[in-house]
Amino acid sequence: MTQQTTTQLNDVDLAAVGALVEGIQADPSKAATTWAAHVTWDGAFASHARIRQFDAIASDEPPALGGGDSAPNPVEQLLGALGNCLAVGYAANASVAGIPIDALSIDLQGDVDLHVFLGLKDGHAGFDAIRASVKLESPAPREQVEQLHAKVLESSPVGHTLRAAVPVDITLA
């Protein structure tokens, strides 16, 4: 009797993920990565980010904030980045654990008080709170899905970045 090895689950290439894990286990220095973006101002409140070889990611503010509403604004993009990071975490961790995902959606909301941004008072200019609601459909038992959820929360790079005080060094050239 031959045993069939699954190399893909949830459209995730398990061999590639396994090779990455093995490579980092063999050489821990491979785990240290640096990511980059280049942003160019396009006038008014519009700009665009270039990341690797991909099409530019546009940014603009809605009319209520003085923008042209030609693209999502930076705080909306941050919510999207968190949601996208969580989606990767669910797909990767579910696949490694052998949990099939039938559907996954994540709704995110964040609260920002514009007083500081507009210079009307001193204080915290960022999100006061972020909420994410995950809808994950799987034939796996609820206990497995809850364990997957906990694992994703423990390992999300964007989630950890938002929850921790991360040093940010912004210099003027």
**CATH number, domain at 170?**
3.30.300.20
- Residue 56 in any domain: the answer is yes
Task: Collapse the DSSP code of 91 into the 3-class scheme (helix H, G, I; strand E, B; otherwise coil) and give the result.
Answer: helix
126 and 167, same domain (yes or no): yes
Query: Residue 24: helix, strand or coil by DSSP?
Result: helix
2 in a domain, yes or no?
A: no
- Flag whether 163 is in a domain: yes
Buried b (16+ CB within 10 A) or exposed e, 65-83: eebeeebbeebebbbeebb
Which one of 16, 49, 72 terminates a domain? 72
- pLDDT tops 90 at residue 165: no
Are residues 92 and 170 located together in one domain of the fold? yes
Say whether both 40 and 110 belong to one domain. no
**Domain extent for 48:** 35-72
* Domain contains 21: no
The structure tokens listed for 109 are 């909301």
In total, how many domains does the chain have?
2
Q: Same domain for 143 and 66?
A: no
- In tens, the pLDDT along 5-26 reads 568 899 999 899 889 999 999 9
Asked if residue 160 belongs to a domain, the reply is: yes
Q: Is 79 part of a structural domain of the chain? A: yes
pLDDT tens for each residue of 49-80: 999 999 999 999 999 999 999 999 999 999 99
Residue 49 CA to residue 35 CA, distance in Å, equals: 13
Backbone angles phi, psi at 127, to 5 degrees: -60, 135
Instruction: Say whether both 88 and 42 belong to one domain.
Output: no
Same domain, 68 and 44: yes
Regarding whether 162 and 115 lie in a shared domain, the answer is yes
Q: 159 and 82 in one domain? A: yes
Q: Which residues, including other chains, have CB under 8 Å from residue 77's CB and lie 6 or more apart?
A: 57, 59
Q: In the chain, helix, strand, coil percent, each to 5?
A: 40, 25, 40
Same domain, 61 and 112: no
* Confidence band, pLDDT 50/70/90 cuts, at residue 2: very low
- Asked which of 44, 72, 100 is the last residue of a domain, the reply is 72
In a domain, 9, yes or no: no
Same domain, 40 and 115: no
Q: End of a domain among 72, 96, 123?
A: 72
In this prediction, residues 15-38 reach a mean pLDDT of 93
Reported in sequence order, the residue ranges of the chain that DSSP labels E, i.e. its strands, are 8-9, 12-13, 38-43, 46-50, 57-59, 103-112, 127-137
End-to-end CA gap in the chain: 67
